[in-house]
């Protein structure tokens, strides 16, 4: 990689480092986010394996007694800068919460995958710090939580809030949110709008529903036992990342001399369950609304991420969809978060069209592993160029490549380091 690119990305990660973890972006996201940290660690391992381990240690040390890894670990001193913060969740009042203030929700399970990659980058430091054995114990609890408390009769893991998908305002959530009559009310704090253009962010109506659901989940002590809870969704990317992480668990178990057969068995069972989210007409996986019993039939990048799953029966169809007019791989900036031809597509607004760097990295990885090295390299080069040219944006307009959201965004910088290997 060029010295300039290395220096620029390293600088962003240094600015956003808070001693034991990295914030996603200094103004907009001033706390630690769970799946961000895993992506950030994947990049950090190239400049400091020790810091990459600390990044994951910090999220593991906020684990709840039931095994969940929280969506956000708050810095309580910055409560007014982000909503909803520590004073909304009051996690200290919830049984089984950790010593540090956190959100009660979760984010997609990319942590075992990150742990494996971080360990492999410097096994000696990892051994000295007992990183692998400590992380493996936390990850066992995390996957148990997902596979026991968050998996229904379908065998698919489910989320209880759009934030848990990591793709907050995806069209997948439109109908399920519309079906919820209640909202949080009109007095909705939006400190995010001090840092990003309102037309790039979710709407106030969406935020009303987000806060309503978060308050309801919190008021039931985040115990996953609210029978009439109105938002239970099965999402292809969340499920695919769990499968991929279960395969990573098998490798971690082998490295530790533990039993790996159970992990492989689970990974295969989870892969079988994924088939029920396949939509033949759309040529991708879709989300399922468990409450309404209705598929959410949209093409989104979430429905392509199963490409990362080993031995996936739908690989050829997914590759066709990725190259089709709907996502135009190679003919547009990165991979759009939503179908370019859909009426619901919006090139600027968050997860309804813009291209994100974490999902591009996941797709590039999948292409690389499947032997499409040219396509993988082209995507990687695009990621690196767009990152450097636009000061590491949060996301970009898929048509123009123009930056959207905030800038100096940590996973954009971190993952660009990974691609220059
Ligand atoms: C928010 C931190 C997070 C990401 C999510 C992204 C966004 C938080 O930012 O959610 O306030 O909307 O959607 O994937 O983890 O970078």
The pLDDT score that the predictor gives to residue 185 is 80
CA separation (Å) from 9 to 43, 344, 414? 10, 33, 7
The pLDDT score that the predictor gives to residue 2 is 85
Reported ipTM: 0.98
Q: What is the mean pLDDT of residues 51-79?
A: 98
- The whole domain housing 61 covers 3-419
Read off the tokens for 260: 């790996």
Read off the tokens for 187: 């007095």
Q: Give the Cα separation of 263 and 267 in Å (integer).
A: 6
Nearest residue by C-alpha to atom 12 in ligand 1: 168
CATH number of the domain where residue 193 is located? 1.50.10.10
The pLDDT score that the predictor gives to residue 421 is 47
Q: What is the mean pLDDT of residues 129-133?
A: 97
Per the prediction, the chain carries an average pLDDT of 97
- Four-CA torsion 67, 72, 76, 80, nearest 10 degrees: -150
Nearest residue by C-alpha to atom 5 in ligand 1: 166
Nearest residue by C-alpha to atom 7 in ligand 1: 166
Ligand 1 atom at minimum distance from 24 CA: 16
Of 13, 16, 33, the residue with max ligand 1 atoms within 8 A of its CB, to mutate for a pocket test, comes to 33
pLDDT in tens, 236-295: 999 999 999 999 999 999 999 999 999 999 999 999 999 999 999 999 999 999 999 999
As for how many domains the chain has, the answer is: 1
Q: Give the Cα separation of 231 and 372 in Å (integer).
A: 38
Around 294, how many Cα atoms within 13 Å sit in the side-chain half-sphere?
12
Q: Which residues are identified as catalytic?
A: 168, 394
Of 36, 302, 411, the residue with max ligand 1 atoms within 8 A of its CB, to mutate for a pocket test, comes to 36
Q: What is the mean pLDDT of residues 390-408?
A: 98
The pLDDT score that the predictor gives to residue 419 is 79
Is the C-beta atom of 70 inside 6 A of ligand 1? Answer: no
């Amino acid at each position: 990689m060029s010295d300039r690119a290395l220096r620029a990305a390293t600088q962003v990660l240094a600015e956003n480092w808070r001693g034991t973890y990295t914030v996603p972006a200094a103004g907009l996201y001033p706390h630690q986010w769970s799946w961000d940290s895993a992506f950030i660690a994947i990049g950090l391992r190239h400049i400091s394996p020790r810091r990459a381990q600390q990044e994951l240690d910090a999220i593991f040390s906020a684990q709840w007694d039931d095994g969940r890894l929280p969506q956000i670990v708050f810095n309580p001193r910055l409560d007014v800068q982000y909503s909803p913060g520590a004073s909304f969740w009051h996690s200290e009042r919830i049984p089984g919460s950790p010593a540090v203030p956190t959100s009660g929700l979760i984010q997609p399970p990319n942590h075992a995958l990150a742990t494996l990659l971080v360990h492999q980058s410097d096994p000696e430091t990892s051994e000295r710090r007992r990183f692998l054995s400590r992380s493996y114990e936390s990850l066992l609890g995390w996957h148990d939580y997902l596979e026991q408390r968050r998996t229904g009769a379908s065998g698919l893991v489910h989320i209880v809030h759009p934030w848990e998908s990591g793709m907050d305002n995806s069209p997948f959530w439109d109908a399920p949110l519309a079906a919820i009559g209640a909202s949080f009310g009109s007095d909705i704090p939006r400190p995010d709008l001090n840092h990003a253009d309102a037309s790039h962010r979710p709407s106030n109506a969406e935020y009303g529903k987000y806060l309503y659901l978060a308050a309801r989940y919190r008021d039931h002590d985040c115990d996953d036992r609210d029978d009439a809870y109105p938002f239970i969704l099965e999402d292809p990317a969340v499920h695919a990342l769990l499968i991929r992480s279960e395969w990573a668990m098998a490798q971690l178990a082998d490295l530790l001399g533990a039993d790996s057969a159970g992990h492989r068995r689970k990974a295969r069972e989870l892969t079988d369950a994924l088939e029920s989210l396949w939509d033949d007409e759309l040529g991708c996986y879709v989300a399922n609304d468990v409450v309404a019993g209705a598929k959410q039939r949209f093409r989104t990048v979430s429905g392509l991420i199963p490409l990362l799953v080993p031995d996936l029966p739908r690989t050829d169809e997914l590759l066709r969809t990725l190259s089709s007019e709907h996502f135009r791989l190679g003919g547009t900036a990165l991979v759009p978060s939503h179908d370019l031809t859909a009426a619901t597509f919006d090139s600027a607004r968050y997860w309804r069209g813009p291209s994100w760097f974490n999902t591009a990295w996941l797709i590039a990885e999948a292409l690389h592993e499947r032997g499409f090295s040219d396509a993988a390299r082209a995507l990687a080069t695009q990621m690196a160029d767009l990152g450097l040219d636009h000061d590491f944006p949060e996301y970009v307009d898929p048509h123009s490549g123009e930056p959207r959201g905030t800038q100096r965004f940590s996973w954009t910088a971190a993952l660009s380091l990974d691609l220059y290997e």
